[in-house]
Amino acid sequence: MTSLVIAEHNNASIKGATLNTVTAAAQCGGEVHVLVAGANAAAAAAAAAQIAGVTKVLHADGEGFAHGLAENMAAQVLAIAADYSHILFPATASGKNIAPRVAAKLDVGQISDIIKVHGADTFDRPIYAGNAIATVQSLDGTKVITVRTTGFDPAPATGGSAAVQSLTAVAASAQASFVGSEIAKNDRPELTAAKIIVSGGRALGSSEKFNEVMTPLADKLGAAIGASRAAVDAGYAPNDLQVGQTGKIVAPQLYIACGISGAIQHLAGMKDSKVIVAINKDPEAPI
């Protein structure tokens, strides 16, 4: 029984979500292999080989993987899927894009957003916006799983000495091509990896007030900035700052909610924070 973790990386280094996914894979039992599919991604493959608990790194290099297109990534995973009992993806935008394609092609059910591993075939996952936990058992020969990274501690990024094996890259899909991307530059920590997050809600009243209150607070604390869906819908903050069921799932050491009442969808995205500070006028607010 061997598990395959699909690494997220920038062709030079491994992203933090991969480390949490390796921990989940190790709990499934057996060996843990990591697939690094990229373009000129030898450095990322070498970094993956250093992750504690990883026994082998599979490195597929091709231009079709340069931007992580789901069509090409899924084809590469399917090319080696027969060798694995479990195929695990971080439950990020990328993982959620690739995993369903793999599960559909393998004709198996996808097990989404797991937060606990009971055994090789049994897992916990949140349902009803996190208000209930479902324990699910899969009888499929291959388990295709997405991992809610806040549910697992990251594996140590150093200390391992896995062998790196080169794979022949699959041909790039003719149906999809990379057109371009607009990446927002931000000097603050990434929202999903930040240890401190300050979030603003609709009560702040305007985009100007949101920036006036939240920006200096985040700068002082070295924190990432988040927002409720109501604040995003009102135009106070951009979509990529949204925390919640339809935004980003976070679990920082400290979460400061300013003017957020705590709708069920927002709570689902931040309730695993270690310390939660709520600043608002309503003592009966759900948060």
Q: Token digits for 216?
A: 């200096």
- Give the DSSP H/E element, type plus range, for residue 136: strand 132-137
Phi, psi of 174 (to 5 degrees): -85, -10
CA 176 to chain centre: 23
Phi, psi of 168 (to 5 degrees): -80, 125
Strand order in the sheet with 116-117: 116-117, 122-127, 132-137
Query: What integer pLDDT is reported at residue 184 of this predicted model?
Result: 66
Query: What integer pLDDT is reported at residue 176 of this predicted model?
Result: 87
Distance CA 213, CA 216 (A): 6
Cα dist from 251 to 90, 109, 161, 254, whole Å: 15, 28, 30, 8
> Could you state, in chain order, the average pLDDT of each consecutive group of 10 residues for the chain (287 residues)?
94 94 95 95 95 96 91 96 96 94 97 95 91 94 94 92 93 88 75 93 94 94 95 94 92 95 92 94 90
What is this structure's pTM?
0.84
- Which amino acid, residue 200? G
DSSP 8-state secondary structure symbol assigned to residue 112? E
Q: What domains can you pick out in the chain, each with its CATH number?
A: 2-167 (3.40.50.620), 191-279 (3.40.50.1220)
Q: Token digits for 111?
A: 């097990």
Q: Give Cβ neighbours of residue 239 (< 8 Å, ≥ 6 apart).
A: 232, 247
Distance CA 28, CA 85 (A): 9
Other beta carbons within 10 angstroms of residue 158's beta carbon come to: 8
